[in-house]
Amino acid sequence: MKIKFWGVRGSIASPIRPESVKHKIEKILSLASPTDIQNEQSIHSFLNSLSFSSSSTYGGNTTCVEIRDKEGNLIIIDGGTGLRELGNQMMATDFGKGTGHAYWILTHTHWDHIQGIPFFVPLFLPGNHFEFVSCMNDAEKRLEHQFVFTHFPVSFDHYAAKKTFQYLEEGETISLGPHIQAFSKAVRHPGGSFSYRFMEEGKAIIFASDAEFNLEEMENIDTYIDYFRDADVLVFDTQYTFEESLQKIDWGHSSASIATDIALRAKVKKLVMFHHDPSYDDEKLDLVYLRALKYKEMFDPHGKLEIIMAYEGLEIEV
């Protein structure tokens, strides 16, 4: 399986501000020596030596992720603002010809997980087929409500692609194409949300965003540990710092330290920190990431758990 991230922010889109771009340029120039900018190769090497926040950006789009099986069949997870760019890329494939097919997983329908759907171009083309799968028995009605005239000038029916909806009971296993199977588990979040475990040939990717795990729940975490166990990739909600999570009980999000504890106990191979707070700039996210690495080293210095920070364009293959 391959997983690619198109939107990694939570709550609301947070594009990089003009002053932040200027700050990045100023920082890069202050660190460069004459030999760093002698030619294209030296410039490339110099930029690669910088911290991620100095030379790049984690991105400001809200939740959207794609998973592909070994034959390239597509599964879309949620539809935040990152969905628009995914749709633009898809137009160069069968979806641009009106012959595309994809499964579409909906974890829940808070705005930051559906606000890109009206701007998803492949939905306009007749012949494309999107199979929506969710643990919400009224998912179609929820999306139709998003498109009422007081919210958006185009109705959901105007999108000419074929749209089918399948209700999935929690824990029920479903085949998503010829190779991937998946099942869900509810997670704590205002209004309800579901995580999903995707499996292909003994490999597992778990998507568990918008999930609140706090100290109280960690005392009764066994069923979740079994669910997360031995995942090759665990995409986990780490919107808050540990201190913030103590102040925002029932807000529906977790911290990197809690995510690390769970990943270590479940023997996860790769933990992906996800659903970044919209108020965090790239430098703050660098610090959050470094704190997570130090926390892991403190409690499991010789363990094999790899921790990475999600950013737009990140691709992982398992």
At 171-218, the pLDDT tens digits run 999 999 999 999 999 999 999 999 999 999 999 999 999 999 876 666
pLDDT on residue 221: 84
C-alpha distances out from residue 91 to 126, 210, 257, 293, Å: 13, 29, 39, 39
Going across the sheet that includes 203-208, the strands are 174-176, 180-187, 193-200, 203-208, 233-237, 270-274, 306-309
Question: What would the mean pLDDT of 89-110 be, rounded to a whole number?
Answer: 98
Evaluate whether 226 touches 216 at the Cβ level (below 8 Å): no
pLDDT of residue 220: 67
| Residues whose CB falls within 8 Å of the CB of residue 235, separated by 6 or more in sequence, listed in order | 3, 65, 205, 206, 207, 208, 209, 272, 274, 310
The residues spanned by each domain of the chain are 2-19+42-317
Cα separation values, 120 from 73, 97, 114, 163, Å: 18, 15, 11, 13
* pLDDT-based confidence at residue 223 (cuts at 50, 70, 90): confident
Backbone angles phi, psi at 134, to 5 degrees: -160, 165
Mean pLDDT value across residues 250-274:
91
Enter the pTM of the model: 0.95
CB atoms within 10 A of CB 232: 18
Range from 24-38, 140-154, 213-227, 292-306 carrying the lowest mean pLDDT:
213-227
Mean pLDDT, range 272-279, rounded to an integer: 97
Neighbour tally for 22: CB within 10 Å? 10
Mean predicted lDDT score pLDDT of the chain: 94
- Token representation of residue 276: 């970044």
**Tokens matching residue 205:** 């990717």
- Has domain 2-19+42-317 been given CATH number 3.60.15.10? yes
Write the Ramachandran bin of 47: left for phi over 0, alpha for psi from -120 to 50, otherwise beta.
alpha
Percent of the chain with pLDDT over 90: 90
Looking at residue 43, its amino acid is I
